[in-house]
Structure 1
């Protein structure tokens, strides 16, 4: 009880787990990886997993913390976001009530998971009776828009992400629609930073496939270090959510981490977090 359990979803982009699992491994008490038993996406399309990945996982898991949880995660009568939500719920049930249930996507990389664990520990009292005081702990994503030859394009404003909960009554993907506590923990998000072929496959199979706008992909294809300042309204659903892009002149993770610290537009102020958290506290005060 009151342990840090981290869950990942394993699908067509499973190779990205080689980068998202290591940052959380040391501080996590246990790690669970959900994999459809028939290797199907939420849309029902098949994907393959090379045996070398399981060899890597076995060699990496020196403390025997990792469990692969296989189940039927594709229901034909559900759309992709419903299958997404269902799988996350089933995964968290496997991870166990009474613990912090952290879910990290394969393309999300914690910059400082130890700091996040320290944050969670200040809220351990929410684990005593989770059904009576459901809570979500959120952080922020720095969304990598596109890898270029000598650097990356990123969305120039962090976006919130639900990372942990004490009560996994998910309503949509990782969102339980309960009170949120916002923290200044940050992750890199490689959601769109793929080859053109891989990105097309992702867009056809992920939980938001039915919500894509027609302007997204042409803008993504032409974006580069010379024209990125001219491109606006870039989000794959409502374009205005991502208003513009920034550029970092490196593709090395350690260098990117240091460069991110120097970007004023990516910093989360204490005042910003205080306002967000007061609003959430007041919203749920009488619920």
Structure 2
């Protein structure tokens, strides 16, 4: 019987395929980048995949987040993606965590995989991931996209911490807008995610990943390579994000008027009847409940749509009593 990976094995070989089957990849962020990259890795036969995302699916996501469909709107991205990938390849193990990565939970969630893919939508978590991988000697592949442009860089700390890191390359540079404020082409995210998945596969089978910063403009069909060097004073070895010295309490979700608030863990099954007594219509999904402008997860984390952080906290307080 011909292996399901036969066409891939013709290029990378059977031994490399066995390495993929025995490897573990963590994908942080299950938006446009993460869904495209992880589907490639799952179908390629990466043996264990861990999905991490804090957000829920919205209708506007479907333009570019190709793993989801209209029936998934309102569901946690990580849980919806988990189901899709299990149907795509039942031979691999897939786990999901619908959480917000922070300095307290990153070790338990990410662990020590063979590669980490950064498909996130905020710089703060990227700096956290950079420090975690640096401290633990892990390889990770960063990708980001906005408008018609995208970028990618692989960071390999498996053999040396003297390798340049994310802070060496990008410093504390601010994001140039968000997908909500300046837009995004699905072709930009799909293209850079395909390259990201390929770089991850190189790492998993023991090949050297791309050593330069790649910048892509999909509209102009332009791909640029930029050489970078380590910066001894970049500050990453202080691990300020990893120990919690840096980081904000309230964050917006990819530029939307949606604020994340962290509260105490709640029993969703008992909360629904309480909300119904208040006249609220509540919809329960995988590990979360949605009502009015609030999506509440069972760990107490909430996503609140509001005009400001203050109004988001007020809306949350009205129902959760903080």
Q: Is the shorter-chain TM-score for this pair beyond 0.5, marking a shared fold?
A: no
Q: Which has the larger radius of gyration?
A: 2
